[in-house]
């Protein structure tokens, strides 16, 4: 917001306050009384932001995996002690609706209600929660024109089961003959995939879960899955589906493990600052949470052990480390904590990522997955599509302010030059 715009906006609010005072006073028919002298209240110091201890902040970067249908004691201790931000579920963790609700309830209880619960739920055969949708495959949904409605229904079913993050949709465009992701893609062209991805993100969010679009910046040109081996991709990635996801307000992006030679020939995507900070955050403008694909993927293990891989991913700007091996979450946690204590720059990275994860946890705990990413300001302004567009759909209620609230709403409607992303801050 320009200084001139800020002065205009503040002038409107000040005028509203003044006008309200006159209006209220005009209704007072009592005799005029001399003003009563009041002692000015003592100015209170502004409280400093309380930062969580570094071990807790590091724990917000770790997702753990366990086997079986019940929460084991070590996982319960990790969640209760703040050494993990959540869990990822696999088929062996899920039996039936009653069991899954009991499991996710135990996870919530151990974490104080803030744990992220992740599960692959792309559609078709890739569904960790088999009674939840989408029942058709991604291509089947796109062909039938049901992507958004199927994703919304799936989101509601997942949320009712206690799952909060759907590891979907797949935004990869299968451009290579024999693409390893062809069977999981919405379409064979970037435009078709982009349309479906935007609809899926909208649907999942409306259903109450956070979708995690994957696998940035794209695995469609790979003929080998990174779970099974290292992958080098020579050409430029198809970014349109990821741009559509960001435009639709996707809260989570999963970063893949391929090496994209045209972008960073030395590092796999999940360990590349050029990919994460440069391409995703700076070029695409993504402001939410990033998560690695499985840290135990063969493409990652080609670069070294999981502890070193986790450190490199966090240094590159990734927020959540998805551990899927037995006990690897603890080794990763210890390595990240050691590095954060050693390096102030790395500790700053940890705190930045922890802040993003904390926002995601809070939004899901509040049931606000369907709301836009948090860029509103004190008066509830939110970013629109253009630099001067003011959207009042998310304006916070002002009825508690009485007549002042109504006048503030009027003033906001006649202040179109206030930049919507800045509000009156």
C-alpha distances out from residue 235 to 217, 238, 261, 263, 410, Å = 12, 9, 7, 9, 52
Could you tell me the pLDDT band of residue 51, with boundaries at 50, 70 and 90?
confident
Three-state secondary structure along 204-216? HHHCCCEEEEEEE
- Quote the tokens at residue 11: 């002038």
242-281 pLDDT tens trace: 999 999 999 999 999 999 999 999 999 999 999 999 999 9
- How many whole angstroms separate alpha carbon 215 and alpha carbon 241? 11
SS3 55: helix
2-19 pLDDT tens trace: 544 444 444 544 444 444
The secondary structure element, H or E, covering residue 330 is helix 328-342
134-191 pLDDT tens trace: 999 999 999 999 999 999 999 999 999 999 999 999 999 999 999 999 999 999 999 9
391-418 pLDDT tens trace: 323 333 333 334 434 433 433 333 333 3
In the chain, what are the domain boundaries? Answer: 54-365, 378-425
Q: With contact defined as beta carbons under 8 Å apart, do 245 and 198 qualify? A: yes
Number of neighbours of residue 410 by Cβ within 10 angstroms:
13
Q: In this predicted model, which residue has the larger pLDDT, 39 or 248?
A: 248
Q: With contact defined as beta carbons under 8 Å apart, do 314 and 350 qualify? A: yes
Res 326: pLDDT: 86
Could you tell me the pLDDT band of residue 371, with boundaries at 50, 70 and 90?
low
- How many whole angstroms separate alpha carbon 204 and alpha carbon 53? 33
Q: Exposed, middle or buried, 155 (CB in 10 Å: 0-12/13-18/19+)?
A: buried
Q: With contact defined as beta carbons under 8 Å apart, do 361 and 85 qualify? A: yes
Could you tell me the pLDDT band of residue 235, with boundaries at 50, 70 and 90?
very high
Q: Which CATH superfamily is domain 54-365 in?
A: Glycoside hydrolase, family 3, N-terminal domain (3.20.20.300)
């Amino acid at each position: 917001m320009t200084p001139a715009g800020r002065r205009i906006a503040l002038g409107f609010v000040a005028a509203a306050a003044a006008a309200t005072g006159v209006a209220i006073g005009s209704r007072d028919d009592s005799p005029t009384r001399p003003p009563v002298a009041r002692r000015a209240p003592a100015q209170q110091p502004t409280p400093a932001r309380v930062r969580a201890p570094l071990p807790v902040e590091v724990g917000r970067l770790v997702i753990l995996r366990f086997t079986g249908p019940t929460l084991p004691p070590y996982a319960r201790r990790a969640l209760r002690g703040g050494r993990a931000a959540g869990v990822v579920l696999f088929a062996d963790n899920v039996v039936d609706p009653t069991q899954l609700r009991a499991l996710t309830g135990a996870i919530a209880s151990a974490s104080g209600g803030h744990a992220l619960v992740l599960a692959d739920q792309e559609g078709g055969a890739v569904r960790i929660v088999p009674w939840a949708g989408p029942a058709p495959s991604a291509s089947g949904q796109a062909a039938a024109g049901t992507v958004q409605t199927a994703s919304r229904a799936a989101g509601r079913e997942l949320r009712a089961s206690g799952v909060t993050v759907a590891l979907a949709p797949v935004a990869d465009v299968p451009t290579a003959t024999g693409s390893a992701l062809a069977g999981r893609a919405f379409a064979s062209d970037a435009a078709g995939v982009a349309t479906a991805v935007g609809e899926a993100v909208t649907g999942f969010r409306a259903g109450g879960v956070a979708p995690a679009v994957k696998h940035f910046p794209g695995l469609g040109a790979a003929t080998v899955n990174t779970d099974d081996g290292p992958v080098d991709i020579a050409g430029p990635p198809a970014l349109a589906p990821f741009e559509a996801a960001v435009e639709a307000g996707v809260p989570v992006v999963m970063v893949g493990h391929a090496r994209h030679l045209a972008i960073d020939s030395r590092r796999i995507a999940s360990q590349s600052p050029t990919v994460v900070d440069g391409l995703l955050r700076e070029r695409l403008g993504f402001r939410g949470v990033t998560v690695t694909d499985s840290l135990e993927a063969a493409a990652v293990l080609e670069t070294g052990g999981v502890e070193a891989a986790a450190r490199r991913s966090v240094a590159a700007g990734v927020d959540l480390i998805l551990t899927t091996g037995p006990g690897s979450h603890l080794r990763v946690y210890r390595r990240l904590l050691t590095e954060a204590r050693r390096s102030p720059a790395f500790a700053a990275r940890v705190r930045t990522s922890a802040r993003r994860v904390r926002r995601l946890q809070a939004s899901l705990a509040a049931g606000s997955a369907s709301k836009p990413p948090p860029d509103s300001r004190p008066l509830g302004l939110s970013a629109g599509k253009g630099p001067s567009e003011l959207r009042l759909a998310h304006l916070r209620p002002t009825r508690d302010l009485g007549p002042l609230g109504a006048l503030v709403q009027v003033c906001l409607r006649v202040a179109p030059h206030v930049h919507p992303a800045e509000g009156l801050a």
